Amino acid sequence: MTRCIYYVALTDKDTLWLSADKGMVTTFSGDSLVADTSFNSGFVVSGSGAVVTSASAISFAGDEICSDSLAKILTKEKDRLEILRENKREAARELDYYARTHSAVDDGYNEVMAYRVRNTRERIHVERQLELIGKALRHPMARARLQADFEIVINIVRKNENTVAEEYRYVSKMVARSGSLLLLQINEPSGWPQGIHIFDTGFLAFRGRPAAVLGSWEENGLPVVAPVDSISGLALTSLDGMPVTDARGRLVGVRANNQMVPLFALRRLNWNFKPFYGWLWDGMKTWTDYMLGCDDIPSAITTRMFKKAGRSREKAYLDCRGYGHLQFKDGSRYVGQLHDRIPDGVGQMTYGDGGVYIGYWLSGKRDGKGIMMDTLGYRYDGLWRSDTLSYGSWENSESVYSGNFNKTLQRHGDGWWLKKDGAYYSGTWSDGTRQGFGFAVGEGKMVRAGIWGNDKFRGEQMVYTADRVYGIDISRYQHEIAGRHYGIDWTKMRITGLGTASRKRIKGHIDYPVNFVYVKATEGVTVKNRYYAVDAAAARRHGIHLGAYHFFSTKTSGRQQAQFFLSVAKPKRGDLPPVLDVEPSDKQIESMGGSQRMFREIIDWMRLVKWRTGTAPVLYVSQSFVNKYMEEAPAELLQCQVWIARYGEYKPYTHLLYWQLAYDGRVAGVHGDVDVNVFNGTRSEFETYIRVNAIR
């Protein structure tokens, strides 16, 4: 695996890292999203740790980026990061709001809070990137230089009584480059694991013949058969860098840039790193270790010879155990390891539609680590099981996904999705769409943590516990029922039922204290609640936080209604902010002159009441009103705290202060149905709200 990344040294402490291919910038050299990562094959040519591979891994990159090209890359990235910074700031505001209004009892709370920390780190990182880009752009002679890191992965499958797969990873460095070839040297002093094959580059072949053949039929004849007890080679994710041998297994060249580089070019590469006598000494040392019993030479490689006459090319390759080519009727073409006439081991399949899979196979199916690239620009990388990507990631130019997949490579199961603009979703998927529980942040919306269906957010299912802050709102209808009059026993007041009109998730027994009560005072400019004064006095006397509300009329002005409300309600210091209850029908809104006329009257009511009470009133509306009209509301009205009535199983999807969750609740001490409400926040948040917003 090769990671190529450019660096711009600004000061002794400040270094900017960037990708020439992706045009992305980071302040951290190990950022996998920025580094240009490529995968090539290779083969061992020295017992002391030398590996040959193709230079295509870094061929797209020059040794440096000149100042003019660098300025263009940085300017474009600066524009992208400025947008991302604003998105991260908006996400931070929404995450802070979520943190204030939720607790650990809410589904997904811990996951959202973890992402909140992550978003903060990412925002700081983006701001740091912009700072360094600014420094780089102020230096007209700044240049970016290439840094390439290499990791060698070796997989050995030992087949004795039990098949055992072993994986070895080595950090290496480039020690020589000649034309289209690279020579790498591992940093591991102990050398290679037992069982690895070392290819003869023309001096001495001390450790057996090569165990791999890749190349066309015409070039190399028949494939070499790998030994039964030990099959080894570098992990294949690209055919570039594979050795090319003849039918007897003798190395004749290297596959690089889809061409065969002859053996003399490989020898020239070796001499650039170490002279002839150095390679001779290395080979003699390896042979001595073997003769002294310090090492083991793999068993001999045999070759099965076939005549071309009378046999199809596909038949000949299928009869071999080892490496070869397969051509399928649908146009697909396989190159790699074979076993019993089917792909088995490591290889590349180029499908008829142009897609490519590079990785491990088992009994003709993709199984193990592998990468799939389709014609739409999607790259799938991960762990495959029985031809299905069970877990991994895909990436395109717009987003990245990591998680589970179904058989058709659609997102399915658990996984997270990150768009390049910072929008994020984590949760469950079904056949490529968000389905089930998950949370999303970004896209200019509030945090959506709850149930999803058909890729749309359905809502948050609140869990009701005794820890939440509950309240009620009452009017004359709690006193006058079916022609009879009832009083309220304030000494017994406890919430005992949350209604039956919708499903609710309740934890524990329902026996909640009434923390606040709103009493209707007026309606329009003529209707008074005859029980208001008595109920308000009783609530204050029993230590229940009290507020008054007015029912809005479309037939009179907002200012007149506000004056009438204030004259009747007579709000006192310490009371909750007054509430304007707005529930007009579409026909009533139309008859008063439309939604904009309605909004003007509402704002007039709000302004006068705020001026007289010293606190901003609360707006009570239904979820359907929010969906239909609030997008047209003036900015001044959108600043108001909102009380939403929604009786379904999902919490209202908007910033809100209270949620009226039931119209058919039960309260001890009160006859009949009662509206039950819940404060959108914790008890400490409620106390803070009262301290800051109560009538002065």
In the chain, DSSP finds a helix count (H) and a strand count (E) of 14, 42
Residue 492 has pLDDT above 90, yes or no: yes
How much is the average pLDDT of 411-417?
A: 94
So what's the pLDDT on residue 204? 40
Residue 12 has pLDDT above 90, yes or no: no
So what's the pLDDT on residue 207? 34
Residue 513 has pLDDT above 50, yes or no: yes
Judged by average pLDDT, the poorest of 62-71, 554-563, 590-599 is 62-71
Residue of 72, 99, 108, 44 whose CA lies nearest to 298: 44
Distance of CA 446 to the CA centre of its chain: 17
So what's the pLDDT on residue 202? 52
How much is the average pLDDT of 96-103?
A: 91
How much is the average pLDDT of 216-221?
A: 28
Tokens of 292: 């002294």
- Diameter of the chain by CA atoms? 113
Distance of CA 80 to the CA centre of its chain: 19
Q: Count CB-CB contacts under 10 A for residue 334.
A: 22
Q: Kindly report the CATH class assigned to 463-693.
A: alpha beta
Per-residue pLDDT reduced to its tens digit, 615-640: 999 999 998 899 899 989 999 999 99
The confidence band for 37, taking pLDDT boundaries of 50, 70 and 90, is low
Query: Taking the domains of the chain in order of start, what are their residue ranges?
Result: 2-38+67-142, 391-460, 463-693
So what's the pLDDT on residue 552? 97
Judged by average pLDDT, the poorest of 23-27, 240-244, 255-259, 432-436 is 23-27
Can you give the C-alpha Rg of the chain in angstroms? 36
How much is the average pLDDT of 655-659?
A: 93
Better-predicted residue by pLDDT, 190 or 536: 536
- Per the prediction, the chain carries an average pLDDT of 80
So what's the pLDDT on residue 278? 56
Per-residue pLDDT reduced to its tens digit, 459-472: 998 889 999 999 99
Better-predicted residue by pLDDT, 213 or 357: 357
Fold of 391-460: 2.20.110
So what's the pLDDT on residue 485? 92
Burial of 613: CB neighbours in 10 Å, binned 0-12, 13-18, 19+: buried
Q: Amino acid letter at 538?
A: A
How much is the average pLDDT of 211-227?
A: 30
Q: Which helix (H) or strand (E) holds 347?
A: strand 342-350
Per-residue pLDDT reduced to its tens digit, 322-351: 567 788 888 898 887 787 778 888 788 899
Q: For tokens 């009533």, what's the residue?
A: 588
Kindly report whether the global pTM for this prediction surpasses the value 0.95: no
Say if CB 604 and CB 562 are below 8 A apart. Answer: yes
